[in-house]
Structure 1
């Protein structure tokens, strides 16, 4: 494989070539101008004649020795001009090499640092000093990229550790139920109790795995899967699907669509239908889970996006920001333990669509979640 010239070598060559061209042009102008002036002063002299051609002294009105000296001076002038051109080229090339070496030294530092950084030492930074030039701006950009990568790696490590813990818990419960709840002389009542416990844990594990898959799907990006999606239609389907659960919990679920003018299609956005449905489903599910008998869940769809508001216990303001992190829960008093991934999935889907998510605690208890969407 052919190795191309380095920037230093190309810079030195460019310096040398430019210097030789400029010096040649200057010296040619000086020599030709000198000869022209001499020709005007001495009639019969051809100013553009090659300087190495011997000059016939008989052509001039003057001393032969003087004219011979003039001819030799002209010849030597051209010879030394050629030497000067070569010397200027060599000097310019050396200067270009030194200048490029000094100017490109930060690039070597950037290259060495980026080669050295791996998952084990993502905390290292280039931290280039010196003038605020293009190279320093490049180093700051790379350092910012490394900051984002370090944050992503740390988040991924925490996620894997938390997911492993969450998956081990139901497996440990199932193993304990089999070992303790099903002795050799177990009766029908013990078998029934153990069976229900195993089914509950199995459903919880299945729900957790499904949530992890949806979260991975959202984090992977949408590619070209976006199509026009009617938020109002999806919201109606989702709220209708939770009607039985809402009645059992004693919670009123309402869905409102506000468009100006009505039927204008202002609630149609570009998105991935399955993931958009998952956002609404997770928000309504959480609103029901962490609610109180006699409470409410209100879903509002308008041109600005999706708003899900619910009653419930008071939520500390300092806990709201952490609710979108994986495996964060408000509590475990619900009818079933959530996986703690509901709002994490919502945040991932919103981020993948380029939308905005805001979560706020209501003054009288519960949450208000707003998804600001981009319309078509």
Structure 2
């Protein structure tokens, strides 16, 4: 029993057991020292010779008094036992109550540390617990957590600085390469080999540029969402993404099915959530069969907003599908298809979903194809929230 439950419960049971055990020992000692056992006194008339004629009456009177005294002692003993049982019950209740109070007082500093640590995220790593008080084990724990937060903050800052500097430094030579290709192609009579080489290099440059964008977006999503959250409709985001890729859907002959059952609103970064939906639509188009189908469903309730994107295709292995949320994970060339794929699409989706406190579920459909379900916390417009609060 002591191994399960919370620390407060275990402390309460330990303290209560200690208090109750001490009370039981005290009651037992009181019992032993009270001398409740009765001793039968010797008969004062035993051994006496024959006396006056009233001797039998006196003996009868003594026996009667002795029985009355034994009955009185028996009643006192029963009352004492009853009083001890009541004292044990009261002591057990008081032991539990006192144990809970003491456990709460002992664990109160740990609760404060836990609450303060939960409030600290990637966006406010500069905050510290700053626990004051005597230099005991609790303060040592708080100082250790503060040291850990300081190291985490330094690591996050260094990573952000590296990503920003690397993207800036890499874009400069990419722009130079593009300009050099444009100059070579713009010559009056470029060689045929030069044109072919320029086309291949431009494709690779576009791929590197796309990869850089993916790295930057993945880094931003993994470091949390900015405070400027806005109210967004998953249905509207899905329509915008599908409208932007309409020519690609038609060019591949895909059958598109859109089911928007509710507004399904949520709060978050407009740029990140828009990219989330775009990546899911891009993934459904790029990794689909010619003449296949895509199903996009949006619904929600008071607590959750859901977006589901399904595609047909060959039967996939669930073990491989579970790894698609990691960077550069693919299901082989037959699945990836497009050479322009960076392998970051679903990993970016997973990071954005986690940053918004949602869930991402990837399932291989038994009939073939992939089902991607995104669940985010639901949100209502300010006017609706105020109205609901007034009605409540």
**TM-score w.r.t. structure 1 length?**
0.50
**TM-score w.r.t. structure 2 length?**
0.48
